[in-house]
Amino acid sequence: MSPAIKVVTGLVLAMTAGFLLASVVAGAFLAGGLLLGGVVVMCYLFAPTAYEISDQRLTVRRRLGEKVFGPVVGCGTVAERLPWGLRLWGNGGLFACTGIFWNKTFGVFRAYLTSSRYQDLVLVKTRNQTILISPQDPGEFVRACESGQQVAAGDS
């Protein structure tokens, strides 16, 4: 996990613990603590754990299920920092950065990231979508993808 995601995760966990502890003194804090606790659990379960390309399809594995995209038509590393963009739907940093985003460079794209460093990112293109992922070894992942080999990697 990148430092940015660790900081966001730590802050949200601390807030959740704070609400739950404060509910001992004032019961009104219990609802906030339970709500935040539910968000934490859902974000943890849907954070990416591994990526795989086989049969020209990208599979994003999560603790709870998987998401399959395809067929893959292109794959490459990200050469520079991503421009600012908008999160349209998703999680912006609690255990991961996942969801649907928009920026000027890629337009609407999906992200399944555990690192915010552009050097760790791989851009996967399918016929209909652009997906940004963060495998442990981006260079090796791209080489295998471009050569048509089956490739599997954990997240970074």
pLDDT of residue 148: 74
Pairing mode, if any, of strands 85-92 and 122-126? unpaired
Residue spans of the domains in the chain: they are: 1-156
Tokens representing 74 are 């292109």
pLDDT tens profile 14-56: 999 999 999 999 988 999 999 999 999 999 999 999 999 988 8
Instruction: Please tell me the pTM assigned to this model.
Output: 0.87
Helix or strand (DSSP H, E) at 24: helix 3-25
pLDDT tens profile 99-127: 999 999 899 999 999 998 889 999 999 99
In Å, how far are 28, 56, 69, 112, 143 from 91, measured between CA atoms?
Answer: 26, 27, 19, 10, 29
